[in-house]
Amino acid sequence: MKVIQTEIPGVLILEPQVFKDGRGFFMETYQKRKYEEAGITTSFVQDNLSFSTKNTLRGLHYQYPHGQAKLVQVLQGSVLDVAVDIRRGSPSFGKWVSVELSDTNKRQFFIPSGFAHGFIVLTETATFNYKCSDFYSPADEQGIIFSDSDLDIHWPSGEYILSEKDTQYPRLHDISEEHLPEYV
């Protein structure tokens, strides 16, 4: 497995080894020892699967105080995936990293706890799979508006399909510190 460091320490792009032949391909999507060797010692407790149509933008979501680290991957289609550091006191607070994830490149994206996460579907449809380090907690669900001008995330242009909830989130600088994780 190839591990690619990003501009934000701890946020990783992973390229699992893919074995192809005339029948198709095989790859490990998770193997605890290999991921620990890559520096991912997170225990995952929940897997989620979503299916979305082109231009669907989901995010930017996070949980607090029960944060979730995520290991994300696209099984079908292509998305632009974004992680935003929202840990108060972090040297990279408010900075973001993005990566294209697709069924072609088979990349994975590891997002530590303390980050907001979102993605936009680039193809007609996309099936998105992710492992989480803590259980979904509706009471802890929070978010940041995807179009926060201070973050200046470079989303592809177009007409976005958003949930009502995702259109109502505040900008990062409008969130009180007690609703943001702390950098350790």
Cβ(66)–Cβ(140) below 8 Å: yes
Closest to 72 measured CA to CA, from 95, 43, 106:
106
Residue 90 corresponds to which tokens in the numbers above?
């972090």
The answer for residues whose C-beta is within 8 angstroms of residue 108's C-beta and 6 or more apart is: 13, 14, 15, 16, 29, 71, 72, 73, 101
Question: Is 130 a catalytic site residue?
Answer: yes
CA separation (Å) from 150 to 3, 153, 172? Answer: 29, 9, 8
User: Pick the catalytic residue: 35, 62, 64, 130?
Assistant: 130
Closest to 85 measured CA to CA, from 67, 76, 97, 68:
97
The alpha-carbon radius of gyration of the chain (Å, integer) is 16
The answer for residues whose C-beta is within 8 angstroms of residue 35's C-beta and 6 or more apart is: 71
CA separation (Å) from 97 to 13, 37, 124, 148? Answer: 10, 22, 24, 15
Question: Is 61 a catalytic site residue?
Answer: yes
User: Pick the catalytic residue: 61, 62, 117, 169?
Assistant: 61
Q: Catalytic residue numbers?
A: 61, 130
